[in-house]
Amino acid sequence: TKRPIGSFIFLGSSGVGKTELAKALAEFMFDDEDNLVRVDMSEYREKHTVSRLFGAPPGYVGYEAGGQLTEAVRRRPYRVILFDEIEKAHPDVWSALLQVLEDGRMTDGQGHIVDFRNTVLIMTSNLGTEFARRGGALGFLPHDDDAVADHQQIERAMRDTFRPEFLNRIDEVIIFEPLTLEDVEQMVDLQLRELAERMDESSLAIHLTESARNWLARQGYDPQFGARPLRRAIQRHIENPLSIHLLKGDFHAGDLVVIDASEGGLTFTRHADQSSDFSAPASGTDEYYAEKYPQGDHYQASYEEEDFADFLSRTEGDDEIDLYTAPPQV
């Protein structure tokens, strides 16, 4: 085929996972999340900015540099290309993309033919998402009459914005429904996995109880902004207090830190590993950890953002410390 591998429009409100799905697709198809080219289309609102994307014609400023998009694809042709908020771009950008969507190639300002046949094109948009603010299950398909009506209004807003010849070249339009609290609870596990891997480098394991998981999801849940507040909630309620405990030497190599919920917020309890060789447990029930690790010191995570800033100011002048991977005191 002469066309790109696939071309999609992802419709949905902010924070529902459109960009994350594009990253996951890049990692799945091309073995590396870095094989994603993200283009912020709000930077291409004016007619003259189109040349920055595809290359200026001979005699114009920027001709020798080539286009930002065409040069990126010419150097690494196996890519996922994410056009973020495509509706904000100038219509000339949409017109320029017609050749890519139809023939899988484009001639840049220098006369080079850039091959797009090994790329996946994803365009995200917030068009019409005010109709989907009532909430629903994570997924792509409507589940009831109200959801069907929402989807129809979203599609109508899309047709009112984009020209038919542009939409006809798109393989699929996927509508993302707003996240629910249950969806955010699952995302807590995903976002804590990276933190657990960093702690594993310091021979320190962390375990989040079910009650702490539910508490954190409630703190980071906002139907209007999706999962974005969750990142801030994890940093404020887990990463910042945990960093202070590490810097103070409260936790030791081989310990398991159990994070639980209480009326005052989250608590951090140190459990000592009695085995000769440390291995961070990957999963298990709360009862499993309680049996394997005898309870040790107990800490209430009462640190607020101003307390964290005050702690950092008092340690200013110390040797540079990586807050997330500083080895605990042995």
User: What residues make up the domain containing 11?
Assistant: 6-175
Task: Give me the pLDDT at residue 255, please.
Answer: 85
Q: Helix 240-248 to helix 305-314 angle, to the nearest 10 degrees?
A: 30
Would you say the pTM of this structure is higher than 0.85?
no
Cα torsion angle, 234, 237, 240, 241, sign: negative
Task: Give me the pLDDT at residue 17, please.
Answer: 87
pLDDT tens readout for residues 278-310: 343 434 445 544 554 444 444 444 444 444 455
Lowest-confidence region among 10-24, 267-281, 304-318: 304-318
Tally the domains of the chain.
2
Same domain for 132 and 10 = yes
Q: Is the pLDDT of residue 44 over 50?
A: yes
Q: Is residue 319 part of a domain?
A: no
What is the dihedral angle through the alpha carbons of 178, 181, 185, 190, rounded to the nearest 10 degrees? 10
Q: Is residue 157 part of a domain?
A: yes
How confident is residue 37, by pLDDT bands cut at 50, 70 and 90?
Answer: very high
Q: Is residue 320 part of a domain?
A: no
Range 257-263 average pLDDT: 88
Same domain for 151 and 17 = yes
Q: Is the pLDDT of residue 146 over 80?
A: no
Task: Give me the pLDDT at residue 130, please.
Answer: 63
pLDDT tens readout for residues 60-88: 655 666 678 888 898 899 999 999 999 99
Q: Is residue 327 part of a domain?
A: no
Same domain for 22 and 154 = yes
Please give the Cα distance from 277 to 78 (Å, whole number): 43
* Cβ(161)–Cβ(47) below 8 Å: no
Range 125-133 average pLDDT: 69
Same domain for 205 and 77 = no
Same domain for 110 and 12 = yes
Task: Calculate ∠ Cα 171-147-167, nearest 5°.
Answer: 20
Same domain for 169 and 34 = yes
Q: Is residue 145 part of a domain?
A: yes
- In CATH, what number is assigned to the domain containing residue 97? 3.40.50.300
Same domain for 72 and 38 = yes
Q: Is the pLDDT of residue 173 over 70?
A: yes
Please give the Cα distance from 70 to 122 (Å, whole number): 16
Q: Is the pLDDT of residue 273 over 60?
A: no
Q: Is the pLDDT of residue 31 over 90?
A: no
Please give the Cα distance from 221 to 231 (Å, whole number): 10
pLDDT tens readout for residues 189-204: 888 888 888 888 878 8
Q: Is residue 220 part of a domain?
A: yes
Same domain for 159 and 108 = yes
Same domain for 167 and 40 = yes
Residue 94: enclosing H or E segment and its boundaries?
helix 91-103
